[in-house]
Amino acid sequence: MKFPLSQIKKSAYNEPFKFDDYVDVSELETMNNDIRKIQPVRVYGNCSEQGEQILCSFTIEGEMILPCARTLVDVPYSFKIKATEVFTTSSYYSEEEEDEIHPVNGDVLDLTPYIKENILLEIPFRVFSEEANPENAAPIKGRDWEYVLEEKKEKTIDPRFQKLASLLENKQKDK
């Protein structure tokens, strides 16, 4: 989501520059986070100019697919984020002075990195599926392993030790 500074300044002279559009943030799926899928998000808000600073207040709405903390099935998670970012066109600004004011490089204001940043900050620590026993849940049995609860644990002999058990039985018969 990019805006030419001339368009913002021209519109912001009388009233704030308003915008409403969809932004493709599918790049977040490839990053090292829990987002499995994310559709284009709706971003709407306005920009106003105050001297050499541009104040952008916007809302991000969308839905992402995250893994369930218990079963690892896909869980849709809707979000609505309200954000405010401050940009400066001043050439005397250095990034070391304040972290909250972002310099504008060139004649275009690009909101996309800040939209992605706000979405990443919104990812919850964990989500849970509404279903009690989902069909696509994490497997409870695999090749050479099985998930067993303590309550259900039975005294079974490991097939690898089956021959040893028969030797013990033979010794007990000999006595």
Q: Per-residue b/e over 43-65, b at no fewer than 16 CB within 10 Å?
A: bebbbebeeeebebebebebebb
Question: Residue 60's pLDDT is what?
Answer: 92
Are 41 and 118 in contact, with CB atoms under 8 Å apart? no
Residue 107 in this model has a pLDDT that exceeds 70: yes
> What would the pLDDT profile of 43-81 be if each residue is shown by its tens digit?
999 888 887 788 889 999 999 988 888 778 888 889 999
Pairing mode, strands 53-67 and 41-50: antiparallel
Could you tell me which residue, 3 or 138, shows the higher pLDDT? 3
Give the whole-angstrom CA distance, residue 73 versus residue 90.
Answer: 48
Q: Please tell me the pTM assigned to this model.
A: 0.67
- Tokens 């964990």 belong to 126
Residue 134 in this model has a pLDDT that exceeds 90: no
